[in-house]
Amino acid sequence: MNSRETLRHLVVQQKNQIEKGGDFTERSILPAVLDAFSDNRVLILTGIRRCGKSTLLRQIMQTKTRYCYVNFEDERLLNFRAEDFEALNEVLFEIYGVPDIYFFDEIQNIDRFETFVRRLQDQDKKVVITGSNAALLSTEFGTRLTGRYKRFEVYPFSFLEFLRFEKIYFTRDSLYLPEEKVKLITAFEEYMKSGGMPEYLKNNDTDYIKTLYDNIIYRDIIARYSIRKQRVIRELVGILASTVSLPFTYNSLKKSLGLKNAITVKEYITYLSGAYLFFELPRFDYSVKKQLSSPRKIYIIDTAFGILNGFSCSPNTGRLLENIVCIELLRSEHEIFYYSGDRECDFIIKHGQKITRALQVCQEINNDNEEREIGGLLEAMKEFGLSEGLILTGSQEETRHQGTATIIIQPVWKWLI
């Protein structure tokens, strides 16, 4: 139970903090979130810890009036219970006046929070919440607010947002001006090394990203799910980070970790995905049963985390590029798979019931890999009736025609902008 005086101090201090000005990098997702204010659905902003969700809330607040804000990560709310929401609401009225919009940061920390959110929605209040656990939020809202919420996934900075952060501006003409083009290429090389976690880019402190990484594993995985085998989960994280973009099976990981069954591995990876640290990419198959039993690929949310685990730029630049492309496709809300037949294609994009695009990623096309990379793309294009395919590379750019098929080869950095 929190006293009203404690709640009052907390709300006032958080209000002063959130209303402070700042030089914020505008997030590309902002217009879509603002458009979603047209009805009274609850808006959920989910994403890995420290990816910029709270800053996005500030950017939204700058366009709104008659709102209030509470961050439930505050240690003074450790004993907060669902029964305290009414007292908190009265304090919010005192400090902010009667709000039309409620902004709640990391509200999933409070048991049965969804009952209060539902009540606010029934009163025609707009509620915007953030959370760093996709599975928990989906479970709670799936039972009480089915069809009454809209979720947005917030990722670390894209390359475009990274350029805004670095105050590097460009036009279409920049692609044809040597000095401007070199500036963009240099920025992309830095983006590959540093990733897109906002605070890490500000301070460039390796200890910060290591601490954040450990906090995510401990708070969002080990503590939340009461995992006793801490050594196993940490070893699993290390294996996944070092095998980004490579196929794996739950059974192979089970053997590597010395576990008795593969279900435990599957559960652990589900937890890691729910915390937005890793993403599984399934192999496409028209048979759902075959798709579920096929090897999967793994990708990490941000290259900074991968590099900390020994996934360095060299000699794995191709895999690093592939990881960046995967996260960009996820950011764009594409439904993505990899294709594997006689050869393999890194990504295929599904819209509705149809495969609409095929993409291959490699550092460069050369004599050693040309048959594999182009052959894999062509096989996927033929399988899904596509006339055009894309190969993303480190620097190469050209267009090739093979029969009726067109293959566009383009640098990853150019594709990203």
As a three-state string, the secondary structure of the chain is CCCHHHHHHHHHHHHHHHCCCCCCCCCCCHHHHHHHHHCCCEEEEECCCCCCHHHHHHHHHCCCCCEEEEECCCHHHCCCCHHHHHHHHHHHHHHHCCCCEEEEECHHHCCCHHHHHHHHHHCCCEEEEEECCHHHHHHHHHHHCCCCEEEEECCCCCHHHHHHHCCCCCCHHHHHCHHHHHHHHHHHHHHHHHCCCHHHHHHCCHHHHHHHHHHHHHHHHHHCCCCCCHHHHHHHHHHHHHCCCCEECHHHHHHHHCCCCHHHHHHHHHHHHHCCCEEEECECCCCHHHHHHCCEEEEECCHHHHHHCCCCCCCCHHHHHHHHHHHHHHHCCCEEEEEECCCEEEEEEEECCEEEEEEEECCCCCCCCHHHHHHHHHHHHHHHCCCEEEEEECCCCEEEEECCEEEEEEEHHHHHC
**Taking the CB of residue 142, how many other CB atoms lie within 10 A of it?**
12
Amino acid at 299: Y
Predicted local distance difference test score (pLDDT) of residue 333:
82
Predicted local distance difference test score (pLDDT) of residue 5:
94
Q: Mean pLDDT per 10-residue run, the chain (417 residues)? A: 88 93 89 95 94 95 96 92 95 97 92 90 95 72 74 96 96 92 97 95 92 93 93 94 93 95 96 95 93 94 82 70 97 93 97 95 96 97 98 97 96 97
**Taking the CB of residue 288, how many other CB atoms lie within 10 A of it?**
9
Rounded Cα distance between 74 and 71, Å, is 6
Both tokens of residue 59? 């950017």
Rounded Cα distance between 304 and 189, Å, is 13
Give tens-digit pLDDT for 20-54: 877 889 999 999 999 999 998 999 999 999 999 99
Predicted local distance difference test score (pLDDT) of residue 140:
59
Amino acid at 135: A
Give tens-digit pLDDT for 296-305: 999 999 998 8
Rounded Cα distance between 259 and 238, Å, is 16
State the pTM of this model: 0.94
Predicted local distance difference test score (pLDDT) of residue 22:
76
